[in-house]
């Protein structure tokens, strides 16, 4: 995610801002910039690249400056370039804005600003519309101008604005993206994240959605959406730097698991038309005819992304009626797949830099087959070389074990399957409506699955599981890809030899390994194969296996037949894999914790496998 730092006081602003941005580097970014309040004018310096690159571009002479804002950008709209880096000027260059979040109606606002009010744009970002709106609405009060500007905005924002009209003032607004005010002595701060503040203050005021802040060296005022002043209590930060970077969680992996409700919502944002509830993938330029005449799809990926592809196959065939073949990229690129017309290759890659996946993409393109990339990194090799890109807006994923990126890959695949299915006339609109409604309910249901009670239950189970060196994950139908991914998660961070099997396959061999106490995690969420999976659970029980079942609320008969059961909130069977992924991620997390392995950086593994 992007990083925000702002300062107004009596010290050197550029040093405070650069140091603050460096404290936010762990969050991942691809460009950085600073706006300083010089005498009577603003000065913006920005760089595609690192904070060190930005620092090397800054003038020594600016060390006298006492007010400024800084930003590290994780690109969503617009490639990582100097022009697209924040801060952004307004036309008159008397206003500068930094912003985290997504302005959903930025195209409409940009058009109005250009055509109705003659504003000219310098970047391809959604953020820049904010700078021009503030200029448009400014009369004699920066806070009023910001309030009027955000009143036109749909989307998420944590924004900070400075103006040469009011040299000592920072004005902030927050909606769906964090913003924290740091309280000093004759100086005050603002940041998107606590680590940027800790060197200066532990006293903070945390903005809530819809709130604004007006900050000068002497005063911090907070206002509600109606402009009424709010007396906010001071929040004392007790975290050290390391725990602050993890949002107070012990590991990045747990932080990223807990971010899943929010990032699932981000990945759906702008892709479900609020007017009619239809899925709209404006960023995909495939023609209706290309989609309607698709004969088959290859999905190609590695590791966790491959497991997302397995689910992608099931939902694309079920909802869009398109035959899908899924392959690991390291196999696909060396076998001789049949390429022909009316085909699409979908590559899935969190990093967008996985060597095998990139090679498979290039092979398909050389054969003249269009490639759609589902990736999390704007400007990555995969995103630049694919014909079409659908971004998962999960934000930077720091832990080697992929969790939130995987979950948003599933969300993206559902959106594609519904979009294709409706375009092809294969998916009835009632069914599409039902699925879209279910997708919109997922963030709330994910919050339920991530309740304290759920975490405690799973933590307790993992104390037992951690004592074993082997484990099984089983499931049928849509539960099978979830089992595959669950086994990989457990394997890669707890080092337990976990294997996943289609539940119906146990009797064809693996059952020989089931003896007293062997842990088996059984996914049993799919009504169509519920009884079959239940009988597989009984097969395991009969040999003494210890089953931990993950099923839907209401399936009480399961509880009588297993050691322990984890209930998911009621959800459409098709969407159940999104919820079921979470307990399997937490099983891996808590088991690794109990076994003392390195959760965020497991042995032998890299976050992005850029070599063959
Ligand atoms: C996931 O937990 C693993 N770290 C690994 O399997 C990963 O999914 C795989 O290397 C693919 O990476 P990508 O999504 O960045 O291409």
Domains of the chain by start residue, with CATH: 3-245 (3.60.20.10), 254-448 (3.40.50.10490), 451-595 (3.40.50.10490)
Residue 380 has what pLDDT?
82
Question: What is the average per-residue pLDDT within 452-458?
Answer: 95
Residue 247, both tokens: 């949002």
pLDDT of 415 higher than 90: yes
pLDDT of 331 higher than 70: yes
Q: Looking at per-residue confidence, does 601 or 409 come out higher?
A: 409
- C-beta 609 within 6 A of ligand 1: yes
- Angle 439-444-450 from CA coordinates, rounded to 5°: 120
Q: What is the atom index within ligand 1 of the atom nearest the CA of 609? A: 10
- C-beta 359 within 6 A of ligand 1: no
Question: What is the average per-residue pLDDT within 576-601?
Answer: 96
- C-beta 401 within 6 A of ligand 1: yes
Question: What is the average per-residue pLDDT within 408-419?
Answer: 98
Residue 576 has what pLDDT?
98
Q: Whose CA is nearest to atom 7 of ligand 1?
A: 303
Task: Beginning with the edge strand found earlier in the chain, give each strand of the sheet holding 157-163 in spatial order.
Answer: 88-89, 95-100, 157-163, 170-175, 211-215, 220-223, 229-230
pLDDT of 611 higher than 90: no
**Of the ranges 37-46, 375-384, 542-551, which one carries the lowest mean pLDDT score?**
375-384
Confidence of residue 1 (pLDDT cuts 50, 70, 90): low
Residue position matching structure tokens 């704007």: 378
Q: How many helices, marked H, and strands, marked E, lie in the chain?
A: 20, 25
Question: What is the average per-residue pLDDT within 188-200?
Answer: 93
Q: What is the atom index within ligand 1 of the atom nearest the CA of 303? A: 6
- C-beta 400 within 6 A of ligand 1: yes
- 546 forms beta bridges with 519
Residue 109 has what pLDDT?
96
Residue 22 has what pLDDT?
93
- C-beta 533 within 6 A of ligand 1: no
Distance 402 CA to ligand 1 centre (A): 6
Confidence of residue 345 (pLDDT cuts 50, 70, 90): very high
**CB-CB contact of 114 with 128 (8 Å):** no
pLDDT of 244 higher than 80: no
Residue 80 has what pLDDT?
84
Question: What is the average per-residue pLDDT within 534-538?
Answer: 96
Q: Which of 256, 304, 332 to mutate to test the pocket of ligand 1 (most atoms within 8 A of CB)?
A: 304
Mean pLDDT of the chain: 94
pLDDT of 140 higher than 90: yes
Residue 41 has what pLDDT?
92
**Of the ranges 370-374, 557-561, 587-591, which one carries the lowest mean pLDDT score?**
557-561
pLDDT of 474 higher than 70: yes
Question: What is the average per-residue pLDDT within 584-612?
Answer: 89
Q: What is the pLDDT of residues 79-90, one digit of tens each?
A: 888 999 999 999
- C-beta 129 within 6 A of ligand 1: no
Question: What is the average per-residue pLDDT within 510-522?
Answer: 95
pLDDT of 460 higher than 80: yes
How far, in Å, CA of 289 to CA of 287, rounded? 5
Which of 383, 290, 307 is closest to 79 using CA atoms? 383
pLDDT of 93 higher than 70: yes
Q: Which of 252, 301, 305, 332 to mutate to test the pocket of ligand 1 (most atoms within 8 A of CB)?
A: 305
Q: What is the pLDDT of residues 262-291, one digit of tens each?
A: 999 999 988 999 888 999 999 999 999 999
pLDDT of 321 higher than 80: yes
- Which amino acids are annotated catalytic? 2, 607
């Amino acid at each position: 995610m992007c990083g925000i730092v702002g300062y107004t006081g009596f010290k050197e602003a550029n040093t405070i801002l650069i140091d603050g941005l460096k404290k936010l580097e762990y969050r991942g970014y691809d460009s950085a910039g600073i706006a300083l309040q010089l005498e009577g004018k603003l000065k913006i310096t920005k760089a595609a690249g690192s904070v060190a690159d930005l620092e090397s571009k800054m003038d020594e002479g600016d060390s006298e400056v006492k007010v400024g804002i800084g930003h590290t950008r994780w690109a969503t709209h617009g490639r990582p370039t100097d022009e697209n880096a924040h801060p952004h000027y307004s036309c008159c260059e008397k206003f500068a804005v930094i912003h985290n979040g997504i302005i959903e109606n930025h195209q409409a606002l940009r058009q109005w600003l250009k055509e109705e009010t003659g504003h000219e744009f310098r970047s391809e970002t959604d953020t820049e519309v904010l700078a021009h709106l503030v200029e448009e609405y400014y009369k004699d009060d920066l806070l009023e101008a910001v309030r009027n500007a955000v009143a036109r905005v749909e989307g998420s924002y944590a924004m900070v604005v400075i103006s040469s009209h009011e040299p000592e003032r920072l004005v902030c607004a927050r909606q769906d993206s964090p913003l924290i005010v740091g309280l000093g002595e004759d100086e005050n701060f603002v940041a998107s994240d606590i680590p940027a503040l800790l060197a200066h203050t532990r006293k903070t005021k945390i903005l809530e959605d819809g709130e604004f802040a007006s900050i000068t060296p002497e005063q911090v005022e907070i206002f509600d959406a109606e402009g009424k002043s709010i007396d906010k209590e001071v929040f004392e930060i007790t975290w050290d730097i390391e725990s602050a970077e993890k949002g107070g969680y012990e590991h990045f992996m747990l932080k990223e698991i807990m971010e899943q409700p929010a990032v699932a919502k981000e990945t759906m944002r702008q892709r479900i038309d609020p007017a009619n509830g239809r899925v709209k993938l404006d960023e995909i330029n495939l023609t209706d005819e290309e989609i309607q005449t698709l004969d088959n799809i290859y999905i190609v990926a590695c590791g966790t992304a491959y497991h997302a592809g397995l689910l992608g196959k099931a939902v694309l065939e079920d909802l869009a009626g398109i035959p899908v073949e899924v392959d690991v990229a390291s196999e696909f690129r060396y076998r001789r797949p049949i390429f022909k017309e009316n085909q699409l290759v979908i590559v899935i890659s969190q990093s967008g830099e996985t060597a095998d996946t990139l090679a498979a993409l290039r092979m398909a393109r050389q054969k003249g087959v269009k490639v759609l990339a589902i990736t999390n990194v704007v400007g990555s090799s995969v995103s630049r070389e694919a014909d079409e890109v659908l971004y998962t807006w999960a934000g930077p994923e720091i832990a080697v074990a992929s969790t939130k990126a995987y979950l948003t890959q599933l969300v993206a695949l559902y959106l594609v399957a519904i979009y294709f299915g409706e375009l092809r006339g294969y998916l009835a609109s009632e069914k599409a409506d039902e699925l879209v409604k279910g997708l919109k309910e997922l963030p709330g249901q994910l919050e339920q699955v991530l309740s304290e009670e759920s975490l405690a239950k799973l933590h307790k189970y993992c104390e037992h599981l951690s004592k074993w060196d082997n484990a099984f994950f089983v499931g049928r139908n849509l539960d099978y890809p979830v089992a595959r991914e669950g086994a990989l998660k457990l394997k890669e961070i707890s080092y337990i030899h976990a294997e996943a099997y289609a539940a119906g396959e146990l009797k064809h061999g693996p059952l020989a390994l089931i003896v007293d106490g062997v842990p088996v995690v059984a996914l049993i969420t799919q009504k169509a194969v519920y009884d079959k999976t239940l009988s597989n659970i009984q097969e395991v029980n009969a040999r003494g296996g210890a089953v931990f079942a993950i099923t839907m609320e209401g399936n009480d008969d399961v509880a009588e037949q297993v050691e322990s059961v984890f209930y998911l909130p009621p959800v459409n069977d098709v969407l159940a894999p999104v919820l079921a992924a979470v307990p399997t991620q937490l099983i891996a997390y808590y088991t690794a914790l109990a076994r003392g392995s390195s959760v965020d950086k497991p042995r032998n593994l890299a976050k992005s496998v850029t070599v063959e």
